[in-house]
């Protein structure tokens, strides 16, 4: 969270927040996904976000629903996926 506060001090209104890739959106990868959720919560209501998770996978409906609620609060978010399964999951989030 300290890094989020540091970025908030220097970010400009027209900046884009990009989240790294590597196949880690969903409860299969809880720690990286929690960090992603923190970043989305911190910046999604004011900045354009682009996320490159590659793969998206949820085994826990609660976790998927929570992600869905977080994404609904974003003013502008693009999430990229590399496979059809992940793309389909993203469509319902």
Q: What is the pLDDT of residues 13-31, one digit of tens each?
A: 999 999 987 768 998 888 8
Low-confidence ranges of the chain (pLDDT < 70): 23
Helices (H), the chain: 2-10, 30-43, 61-72, 84-92
pLDDT at 23: 66
CA distance 71 to 10: 24
Three-class SS of residue 57?
coil
- pLDDT for the residue 92: 84
User: Count of CB atoms within 10 A of residue 56's CB?
Assistant: 27
Question: pTM for this one?
Answer: 0.87
């Amino acid at each position: 969270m300290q890094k989020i506060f540091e970025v908030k001090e220097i970010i400009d209104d027209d900046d884009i927040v990009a989240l790294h890739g590597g196949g880690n959106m969903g409860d299969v990868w809880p720690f990286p996904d929690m960090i992603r959720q923190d970043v989305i919560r911190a910046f999604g209501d004011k900045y354009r976000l682009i996320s490159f998770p590659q793969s998206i996978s949820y085994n826990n409906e609660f976790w998927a629903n929570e992600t869905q609620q977080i994404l609904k609060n974003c003013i502008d978010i693009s999430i990229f996926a590399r496979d059809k399964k992940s793309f389909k999951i993203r469509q319902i989030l």
